[in-house]
C-alpha cells in the first residue's frame, strides 16, 4: 500500500461544532496523492469540509469517527480495494445509508454489478470531468443539508412540544393546588361570617374570630397572587375589557379597604374628580391593581399613619393617574429601581414581620401594561413614605354624571339550591344564606342536584365544578338543555380560578364564576340585581 507524500492534502477541516458547523463532510479516498490534490482543487470551491484517506483501512477509521454527506471511493487500491471498503462501510448502521460514488478508470457490467451490490450510488470514470464531479457532489451536499435541517426542525418541534406539555402540566398542577388550598378556606370563611352575624359575644371570642378572619384573608391573597403572577409570566391573563368609570372603581376599592386600614389604625383620605373618567379596561383587574397598592401601603405603614388616594386627569395627554401615597417606612434608593420585580421585597429580614411573597407590586406592573398603562414608584428614602402611581389612557366626560352607587345590597328572598360535595362548605353556605332570609336546599352530587332542581325549581343554583360522577359542567349543560328547569341563575363555585376555567364555565352555561372561598359581598350584589 502506497502512502501519500507529506504535501498531499489530508483534510481541509474536521471542526464539526465550530463556526462552520453548517458545512458537511466529504470523504475522498485514493491511494495516489496526486489524485487527491486534483480532487481537492476541483471540490474546494464547494466550501465544504474535505477529508482525505489514502487507504480503505484509513477510510474506515474516519467513517467511525465522522458523518459524511458523500464518499468518493477509488476502486483500485492495494490491500483493501474500494468494493471491500464499501461493503464494510455499509455494515455499520450509522453509515449504511451514506452515498458512495466509485472512482475508477475502467468499468464493465461485472464491476458495475459488484459496485452497486455494495451500495454504490454512481460510478465516475477517471480522469473525472470537474463540472460533472462538482455537480454530482453538490447534489449530495444539498440532500445532506436538507436532512440535517429536517432533523433540526423535528428536534425543535419535539422540544417545543415537550415545553408546551410541561407548561400544560404545570398550569394544571397550579390550578389543582389552588383548588385544594381554596377548598378548606370556604367553610372557614363561611363560619366566620356566621359568627359575625350571631348575637353578642365575649371580647375574647371576637378577638379569636378576627384572628381567623385575618389569616384566612391573608392565605387567600397569597394563593391568588401566586396564580396571577404565573399567568402573567406566561401571558395567559385575558382581560374582559369594557368602558368603566375609573373614579367609581377607586371609590369602591377604597371604601372596601377602610375596615382593613382601620384595624391597623390607619386613616385614608380620598381626593376624586367630580366627574367620571372613562377607561377601557377590565374592572376586576383595575380594582385588583388599586387594592394591591392599598395593601402594600397598609403593610408598610405603622399604626397612626395616613394613606392618601388621589385621582387626576391630564386632558392634553388623555392620561388618568391613580396615586396612592403613604407616610410609612419608605423605600431605600437602592431598592427603588427593582421594587416592581417578581419576589422583590423590602422586608427581607429573618423575622419576615410583614409577610407576603413579594408579588403584589409585580402584578400591578403586569396588569397596568396589559391596560396600555404604566406604574411608577417614588420615595425620598427610608422613613419618608412612598408613592405609587398608575397611569392609564382615559377620557373625561364632564357632561355625564357618575353612575349611582347601590343604595342597598339587600336581596329579595330567593329559592337557592347549593350543589357541593364538601359537606362543611355546603352546610355553612346554607346557614349563611338562610340567615339572610333565603329558602335554601343542598345536594352533594351532580345527579342529586339535578333531581333536587326538578322538585325545588330554584331561582339560583350555586354549583361546585368538581363533583363526583356528574360534574358541575354537566349539571349546567343539562339544565340549559331542558326547559323544564326554567332559567335559573347558575353560579359556579370552584377552587379553579384560571381564565380558561372561567371560559369553560361560561361555555357550559354558568352565569357567574366565583372562586372559593366565596366572596359573600359579590354573591349578595349578584342576588340583589337578579330580576324578580
pLDDT in tens, 64-100: 888 898 999 988 888 888 888 888 988 888 888 888 9
Pair 56, 195 in one domain: no
Domain boundary among 128, 161, 189: 128
Q: Do 402 and 248 touch, CB atoms closer than 8 A?
A: yes
d(CA 532, CA 525): 14
Q: What DSSP string describes 131-160?
A: HHHHHHHHHHHHHHHHHHHHHHHHHHHHHH
The C-alpha atoms of residue 85 and residue 48 are separated, in whole angstroms, by 23
Rg (C-alpha) for the chain, rounded Å, is 38
**Section 39-50 average pLDDT:** 89
Q: Mean pLDDT, to the nearest integer, of 358-373?
A: 86
What's the number of domains the chain is made of?
3
For residue 429, give its domain range.
Answer: 170-236+409-532
Q: In terms of domains, do 308 and 193 share one?
A: no
All three cell numbers of 285, joined, read 383587574
Q: Are both 244 and 351 inside the same structural domain?
A: yes
Could you tell me if 391 and 457 lie in one domain?
Answer: no
Per-residue pLDDT at 297: 92
Go through 193-207 and write b for each residue having 16 or more CB atoms within 10 A of its CB, e for each that does not: bebeeeeeeeeeeee
Confidence of residue 235 (pLDDT cuts 50, 70, 90): low
Angstrom distance (rounded) from CA 67 to CA 60:
12
Is the confidence at residue 108, as pLDDT, over 50? Answer: yes
Residues 323 and 246 in one domain: yes
Query: Does residue 139 belong to any structural domain of this protein?
Result: no
Q: Are residues 122 and 178 in the same domain?
A: no
Predicted confidence (pLDDT) at residue 417 exceeds the cutoff of 90: yes
% residues pLDDT > 70 (the chain): 78
Mean confidence (pLDDT) of the chain = 81
Q: For the domain that residue 102 is a member of, what is the CATH number?
A: 3.40.50.2300
Q: Is the dihedral angle over the CA atoms 444, 445, 449, 451 positive or is it negative? A: negative
Residues 433 and 528 in one domain: yes
Q: What are the grid coordinates assigned to 380, written together?
A: 425620598
Q: 525, 409 in Cβ contact below 8 A?
A: yes
In a domain, 439, yes or no: yes
Q: For the chain, how are helix, strand and coil distributed in percent, rounded to 5?
A: 45, 20, 35
Please give the full DSSP string across 177-243, using - where no structure is assigned: HHHHHHHHHHHHHHHHHHHHHSS---HHHHHHHHHHHHHHHHHHHHHHHHHHHHHHHTT------EE
| Number of CB atoms found within 10 A of residue 505's CB | 24
pLDDT digits (tens, 9 = 90+) for 483-509: 888 889 999 988 766 677 788 889 999
* Torsion 174-185-351-334 (CA) sign: positive
Region 344-364: what's the mean pLDDT?
Answer: 57
Q: State which of 346-350, 411-415, 479-483 shows the largest mean pLDDT.
A: 479-483
Percent of the chain with pLDDT over 90: 28
Q: 423-461 pLDDT, tens per residue?
A: 888 888 888 898 888 999 999 999 999 999 999 999 999
Amino acid at each position: 500500500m502506497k502512502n501519500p507524500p507529506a504535501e498531499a492534502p489530508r483534510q481541509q477541516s474536521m471542526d464539526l461544532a465550530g463556526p462552520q458547523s453548517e458545512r458537511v463532510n466529504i470523504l475522498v479516498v485514493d491511494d495516489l496523492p496526486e489524485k487527491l490534490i486534483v480532487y481537492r482543487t476541483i471540490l474546494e470551491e464547494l466550501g465544504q469540509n474535505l477529508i482525505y484517506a489514502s487507504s480503505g483501512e484509513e477510510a474506515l477509521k474516519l467513517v467511525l469517527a465522522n458523518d459524511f454527506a458523500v464518499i468518493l471511493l477509488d476502486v483500485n487500491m492495494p490491500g483493501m480495494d474500494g468494493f471491500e471498503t464499501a461493503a464494510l462501510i455499509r455494515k455499520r448502521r450509522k453509515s449504511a445509508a451514506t452515498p458512495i460514488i466509485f472512482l475508477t478508470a475502467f468499468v464493465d457490467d461485472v464491476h458495475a454489478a459488484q459496485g452497486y451490490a455494495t451500495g454504490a450510488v454512481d460510478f465516475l470514470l477517471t480522469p473525472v470531468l470537474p463540472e460533472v464531479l462538482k455537480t454530482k457532489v453538490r447534489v449530495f451536499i444539498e440532500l445532506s443539508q436538507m436532512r440535517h435541517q429536517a432533523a433540526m426542525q423535528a428536534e425543535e418541534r419535539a422540544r417545543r412540544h415537550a415545553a408546551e406539555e410541561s407548561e400544560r402540566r404545570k398550569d394544571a398542577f397550579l390550578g389543582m393546588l389552588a383548588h385544594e388550598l381554596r377548598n378548606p378556606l370556604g367553610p372557614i370563611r363561611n363560619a366566620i361570617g356566621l359568627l359575625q352575624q350571631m348575637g353578642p359575644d365575649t371580647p375574647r371570642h371576637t378577638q379569636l374570630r378576627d384572628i381567623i378572619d385575618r389569616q384566612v384573608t391573608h392565605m387567600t391573597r397569597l394563593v391568588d397572587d401566586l396564580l396571577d403572577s404565573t399567568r402573567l409570566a406566561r401571558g395567559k391573563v385575558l382581560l374582559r375589557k369594557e368602558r368603566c368609570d375609573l373614579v367609581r372603581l377607586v371609590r369602591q376599592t377604597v371604601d372596601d379597604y377602610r375596615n382593613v386600614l382601620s384595624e391597623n389604625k390607619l386613616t385614608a383620605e380620598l381626593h376624586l374628580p367630580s366627574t367620571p373618567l372613562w377607561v377601557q379596561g377590565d374592572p376586576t383587574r383595575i380594582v385588583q391593581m388599586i387594592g394591591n397598592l392599598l395593601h402594600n401601603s397598609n403593610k408598610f405603614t405603622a399604626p397612626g399613619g395616613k394613606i392618601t388616594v388621589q385621582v387626576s386627569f391630564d386632558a392634553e395627554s388623555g392620561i388618568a393617574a391613580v396615586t396612592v401615597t403613604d407616610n410609612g417606612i419608605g423605600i431605600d434608593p437602592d431598592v427603588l429601581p427593582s421594587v416592581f420585580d417578581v419576589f422583590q421585597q423590602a422586608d427581607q429580614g429573618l423575622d419576615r414581620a410583614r409577610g407576603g411573597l413579594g408579588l403584589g407590586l409585580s402584578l400591578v406592573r403586569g396588569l397596568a401594561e396589559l391596560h396600555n398603562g404604566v406604574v411608577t414608584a417614588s420615595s425620598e428614602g427610608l422613613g419618608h413614605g412612598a408613592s405609587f402611581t398608575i397611569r392609564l389612557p382615559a377620557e373625561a366626560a364632564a357632561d355625564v354624571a357618575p353612575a349611582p352607587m347601590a343604595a342597598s345590597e339587600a336581596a329579595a328572598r330567593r329559592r337557592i339550591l347549593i350543589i357541593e360535595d364538601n359537606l362543611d362548605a355546603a352546610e355553612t353556605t346554607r346557614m349563611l344564606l338562610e340567615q339572610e332570609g333565603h329558602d335554601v336546599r343542598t345536594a352533594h352530587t351532580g345527579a342529586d342536584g339535578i333531581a333536587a332542581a326538578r322538585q325545588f325549581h330554584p331561582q339560583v343554583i350555586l354549583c361546585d365544578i368538581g363533583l363526583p360522577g356528574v360534574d358541575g359542567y354537566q349539571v349546567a349543560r343539562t339544565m340549559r338543555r331542558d326547559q323544564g328547569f326554567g332559567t335559573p341563575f347558575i353560579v359556579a363555585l370552584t377552587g379553579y380560578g384560571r381564565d380558561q376555567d372561567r371560559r369553560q364555565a361560561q361555555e357550559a352555561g354558568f352565569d357567574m364564576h366565583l372562586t372559593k372561598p366565596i366572596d359573600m359581598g359579590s354573591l349578595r350584589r349578584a342576588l340583589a340585581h337578579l330580576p324578580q
